[in-house]
Structure 1
Amino acid sequence: MSLYFFVSSQRQLTEGTPWAETIADSIDAEIVLVVLGQDRSTLAEQARKTLQSSSTIKTIEVVDEDIDSVLNHIRVKKSSLVLIVKEAHDEPLQRSLFERSPVQTLWLRINGVPPTSSSQIFDFDGSTQSATQRIAKRLLGHSGQAPLLENDLPIDADNPKWLEQEAVRLETQRCQTGDMVWILYGRTPGEETRYAAARALMKESTQASIALISKGETFPESLASRLRYWSTHVAEPVTREQRVELSQSLTEGSHPSWEFLGLISASAMLAAFGLLQDSAAVIIGAMLIAPLMTPIVGAGLALTHGNRPLFQTASNAIVIGFLGALSSSFLFGCLVVMLQTPEVTPEMWARCKPSALDFCVGLVGGMAASYARTRSHLSSALAGAAIAAALVPPISTAGLQIAFRITQGADSPIWSSGQGTPIFGPVLLVSVNVLTIMMGSSFVLYARGMRVDRAFTVGQRWAGRMTILLVTLMLLVLVWTLGH
């Protein structure tokens, strides 16, 4: 078992070493002293002197002072517990490390030596008292007493600032030098206010030491972290400038316009012509000029960012594009009915019977399209992704079948129940494609770094609920498809 103690200043090393040794003795662990920054030779030399005088510090390591390097170091070394001592100039890095650390992490604002009795240890509030008592008992050998907020104050108060001020006031009244206040951080939306109050306590000149303790990553979070780590090693990470440029491009392309409507209508009529002529080449050409892929990937980006307005804008563009394509193909079909006897070709029937394989086509196509958008030299792959997704031909098929009055149960001689479901089948197929492309692109964009690292934002909570809703809808459609 190993305790990783990260330091970037002499003060952290001096004040934090007694705490690290106390915790290491309590959990029977070895201390690995990690110096942040390759250029801190003086601090590294002082760390080596500390190593010589300590029986529990076994190793000294040096890592680059950036969050990705630190997180990767923790994962590679498979540490059991991380200790960081608050330092004002390092607060952004420390906060990011604390919130994203894959293992249990203790963030300390030290004022004195470690407590020597349970009477010196306070839990922040009663809602997490049993958990923090177990953690305090394991790390320090003392379980603690009553919570600091003993009046059972509501953690989800409408005024978070009031709770922060109340926590500081009660700490000043109840705590003395040498005491300690524990705050549990659980990465759940309900703990936002507690976390804000804890950070307010850490910034104040309190008498007690303040300890923020995280639970570490859950299995889904660990899986997502490994995915991000893997993706950065498969392809070159997306730079900040590239992320901004891609976000702007997708945002602009997700806004419906007359130009967008005209292009999607032209694509639908071209696809309708190809379907009637049973010409795969013309249908492929229609797929290439259809602008519908951009707002779908834009919706995927909105899920990744938790950007509700962008999702609504992209959804509007998708609906407008669908209605425009359906209307134009219907009008084209009406013209055909006036000029000749309508005929449903094999290309049209092929889009009337969606199958489970269509889910794979849309998902992989969306992943390929979004990945190509993050790699400028792979822009040629976008054409292939657009062809594979085949968004417009099913809409054109539905429009033509409406114009030809081909419906289930009709007595028309060209109706064949064994070949699929007219109108509904193509609409279901394009719905499947839209959903799978959206989810596939969101997955890849998240893995490629197009995400927000802030914890517990309203947008992230909305994105989580919307993702669950869309996945549930996909599964329901899949079950229906398999049943038919």
Structure 2
Amino acid sequence: MAVREPLTQVIGRAGEQVKRRTRVRRPSSAEGRDAYHVMVAVGEERQLVPLASFGCALARSREGRMTLVTVTPDGTRPPWLKVPPSCADVPVDVLVLRQMKAPGQDLAHLVNQKPPDLLVIGWRGEPKRGRYLLGRTLDPVLRNVLCDVAVVRSDFARTPRNVLVPTAGGPNAARALEIALSLGSDVQITALYVAQRSLGQPEVILGRERLRAAVAPWEGQSLIQRRVVQAHDIVRGILGEANSGRYDLLLIGASNESAVDRALFGNVPQTVAVDSPIPTVVIRRQAETVQRRLRHAWWRVWRFFPTISTAEQVEVYKRIHRGARPGVDFFIMISLSAALAAIGLLMDSSTVIIGAMVVAPLMSALLALGLGVTMGNLRMIRMALGSVLKGAFLAILVGLLVGTSMPKAAPTGEVLARSHPSIVDLVVALLSGMAGAYAICRRDILAALVGVAIAAAVVPPLATVGIGISMGSAQIAGGALLLFLTNLIAISATGGLVFLAFGFQPEPSESERSRVFHRGLLSTLFLVLVVALPLIWLTWRSVQQTSLQRAITDVLTSEVPQRYVEVTEWHICEREGETFCLEITARVDHVVTEEETAALQRRLAARLKRPVSLHVIAIPVQYFHIQVSPSATVPMTKSTNSAALQP
């Protein structure tokens, strides 16, 4: 960390901040308004010499000045805050801030009052987990300061002689090269490009071109050498070169610091800085105004999201692991839940189906799958996936047995509702996964997990698959299976994202788990897209059918003469291209002629704007109306719009 987090609370009026500035020596003539200014933030004694030595080397090479700054609870200067002998030839100021808010916020506020050219801060090399990239203190500085930042990890007390600068053409890498050149005229710099071995020789050629473009501004400098190495991944390539013994400093440009990038692709500079065998400096250029404001707005919203401690993370892990383990209780509850769901589906009873949702244990297994991906825990992924598959097979089998025991049962509304999934079901599953993961991480609202299980409805689709198989209906079974796969993928995906927000993530040093984590997240996103495509198509087809049915109903209502015909039902027969067959069943009180049917067909085709093949089933009827009068006799009269039928 650049600044030590205090253990005491500072009491003072709001907005008050005491600054104590000490001028170590009078600045030289080179120091003026435009002199290169390096500000070094020191949080503890052991950071003083390495950070000050690095800052002095940069200020010296540009005939600039340096400011040492620290934050203390009461604003007093620590006894160890002295200018090192290595900075004797550099104008140095010492500034002490009284802590008013968090140390990182106080430092950022000071820097932004009159931004230096470069801010140097230290880092212990122990990254925080979850939302923070480098820690609770450093992240506010990185987000908010209006200057370039150099994050220094490890100790060194002398100017380096051989500097390694990995580059892929980004702006931060160019800034790292510029700072490396500022370390001194006798510093040898190696610009490194790591070509992924799987991409072969074309990637090596591309790397040479990118290095040539990266060092083009300093083409005349003989101090910069270009080097391309092949490795299985970028981190391995950089660490392998740094471990060769030829370098005494690694300068690397920062990558995008957004949470999405870190989750999907990892943070290469952070991982390299943690595992580097030599002193490492991560360089980040000042962000553009729009980018900085967007990042600041994102973090203002993000900070309201609650956090959990490491002990709470362990408790959540144990709770999910225990609930997803495929033991005897797991299979008994799956069997009972599937039986209840199947009976409720065949009875068309939503109450019974809700009871089945409450007792189903599959929700824990789905959340365990998301947690396993987030933590890069391959063992948990296998256990959760095995539990889901075994539970799904058992639920389908129970649904098949219940459906077979009722051979004369017909598809009910509840069965049909689960055989026609739509994109809305995907949205519900995504939200259910987020709610379930959030509830299980927060002990105070753990009871809400029951409601989430009802909303997700994991077991009823599996029971519907078994019922569809027992009825010999591939449409029912296939639609219900698609609904279950939608729930499986969506709940695991968004549940994993919530776990990531709560800090569940493999450490950058755990390379194997990090690979599982990244591949798992990319695979999950791919599966969400894959399952969304048929749902979008089914939703579009359902909307089209609904629109067509509404149009036909409106046409029949307006075009069919009510005084002659009463339509009791209609349905669409087999369609042939744009022409579709419409079969109408109606009660009539007269003989319907072919000319009348043809006229109705023409009116339907004109209103629907497509060819229509019309079939009319006319059922002759006679209407009677029985009227009860106060007299003893009960007259029987015909309806006024009915014609008498002679016997």
Counterpart of 1:314 in structure 2 is 384
Equivalent in 317, 324, 330 of residue 400 of structure 2: 330
- Residue 515 of structure 2 is aligned to residue 461 of structure 1: yes
Counterpart of 1:84 in structure 2 is 121
Q: Deviations over 1:257-301 (max 9, x none)?
A: 232112111101100111111111100000000000001001111
Counterpart of 2:190 in structure 1 is 147
Distance 2:363 2:383 in 1: 14
Aligned-partner SS, 2:406? helix
Q: Is the 8 A contact 1:251 1:298 kept in 2?
A: yes
Counterpart of 1:107 in structure 2 is 152
Aligned-partner SS, 2:476? coil
Q: Is the 8 A contact 1:164 1:198 kept in 2?
A: no
Q: Is the 8 A contact 1:132 1:182 kept in 2?
A: no
Please report how far the alpha carbon of residue 22 of structure 1 lies from its aligned counterpart in structure 2 after TM superposition.
5.9
Counterpart of 2:178 in structure 1 is 137
Q: Is the 8 A contact 1:366 1:441 kept in 2?
A: yes
Counterpart of 1:269 in structure 2 is 339
Please report how far the alpha carbon of residue 167 of structure 1 lies from its aligned counterpart in structure 2 after TM superposition.
3.2
Q: Deviations over 1:363-417 (max 9, x none)?
A: 111111111111112122111100000111111111111111123xxxxxxxxxx
Q: Is the 8 A contact 1:263 1:289 kept in 2?
A: yes
Please report how far the alpha carbon of residue 228 of structure 1 lies from its aligned counterpart in structure 2 after TM superposition.
7.8
- Residue 416 of structure 2 is aligned to residue 349 of structure 1: yes
Equivalent in 448, 454, 460 of residue 387 of structure 1: 454
Equivalent in 475, 481, 484 of residue 427 of structure 1: 481
Q: Is the 8 A contact 2:338 2:399 kept in 1?
A: yes
Aligned-partner SS, 1:8? coil
**Partner AA of 1:106 in structure 2:** V
Please report how far the alpha carbon of residue 201 of structure 1 lies from its aligned counterpart in structure 2 after TM superposition.
2.6
Counterpart of 1:213 in structure 2 is 282
Q: Is the 8 A contact 2:252 2:269 kept in 1?
A: no
Distance 1:76 1:349 in 2: 65
What are the within-5 Å matches in structure 2 for residues 333-412 of structure 1? 333-337=403-407, 341-407=408-474
Q: Structure 1 residues 433, 131: closer, same or farther in 2, change over 3 A? A: closer
Counterpart of 1:441 in structure 2 is 495
Aligned-partner SS, 1:167? coil
**Partner AA of 1:275 in structure 2:** L
Return the structure number with greater helix share: 1
* Structure 1: runs of 5 or more not aligned: 172-179, 203-210, 408-420
Please report how far the alpha carbon of residue 238 of structure 1 lies from its aligned counterpart in structure 2 after TM superposition.
1.0
Counterpart of 2:318 in structure 1 is 248
**Partner AA of 2:311 in structure 1:** E
Distance 2:490 2:502 in 1: 18
Q: Deviations over 1:176-221 (max 9, x none)?
A: xxxx73432667789699947973233xxxxxxxx5224589999x
Distance 1:278 1:367 in 2: 29
Equivalent in 295, 302, 305 of residue 365 of structure 2: 295
Q: Deviations over 1:102-157 (max 9, x none)?
A: 565331643335x8xxxx56336798999766524257646854539989695749
Distance 1:217 1:307 in 2: 36
Q: Is the 8 A contact 2:175 2:253 kept in 1?
A: no
Return the structure number with greater strand share: 2
Distance 1:470 1:247 in 2: 20
Q: Is the 8 A contact 2:434 2:495 kept in 1?
A: yes
Counterpart of 1:181 in structure 2 is 249
Percent identity between the two aligned chains: 23
Distance 2:420 2:445 in 1: 33
Q: Is the 8 A contact 1:352 1:423 kept in 2?
A: yes
Distance 1:292 1:261 in 2: 10
Please report how far the alpha carbon of residue 250 of structure 1 lies from its aligned counterpart in structure 2 after TM superposition.
1.0
**Partner AA of 2:244 in structure 1:** A
Q: Structure 1 residues 240, 145: closer, same or farther in 2, change over 3 A? A: closer
* Structure 2: runs of 5 or more not aligned: 1-35, 144-148, 193-224, 256-264, 539-647
Q: Structure 1 residues 72, 225: closer, same or farther in 2, change over 3 A? A: farther
Q: Structure 1 residues 85, 273: closer, same or farther in 2, change over 3 A? A: closer
Equivalent in 293, 297, 304 of residue 233 of structure 1: 304
Aligned-partner SS, 1:123? strand
Instruction: Give aligned pairs, total.
Output: 436
Q: Structure 1 residues 454, 27: closer, same or farther in 2, change over 3 A? A: farther
Q: Is the 8 A contact 2:419 2:477 kept in 1?
A: yes
Aligned-partner SS, 1:84? strand
Between Structure 1 and Structure 2, whose CA radius of gyration is higher? 2
**Partner AA of 1:466 in structure 2:** G
Distance 1:437 1:34 in 2: 48
Counterpart of 2:278 in structure 1 is 201
Alignment root-mean-square deviation, CA: 4.9
Distance 2:414 2:232 in 1: 60
What are the within-5 Å matches in structure 2 for residues 281-292 of structure 1? 281-292=351-362
- Ranked by relative contact order (alpha carbons within 8 Å, sequence separation 6 or more), the top structure is 1
Q: Is the 8 A contact 1:367 1:440 kept in 2?
A: yes
What are the within-5 Å matches in structure 2 for residues 11-26 of structure 1? 12-13=47-48, 16-17=51-52, 19-20=54-55, 23=58
Instruction: Decide which moves more: 353-362 or 185-194.
Output: 185-194
Please report how far the alpha carbon of residue 431 of structure 1 lies from its aligned counterpart in structure 2 after TM superposition.
0.7
TM-score w.r.t. length of structure 1: 0.73
Equivalent in 154, 160, 164 of residue 123 of structure 1: 164
Aligned-partner SS, 2:405? helix
Please report how far the alpha carbon of residue 345 of structure 1 lies from its aligned counterpart in structure 2 after TM superposition.
0.6
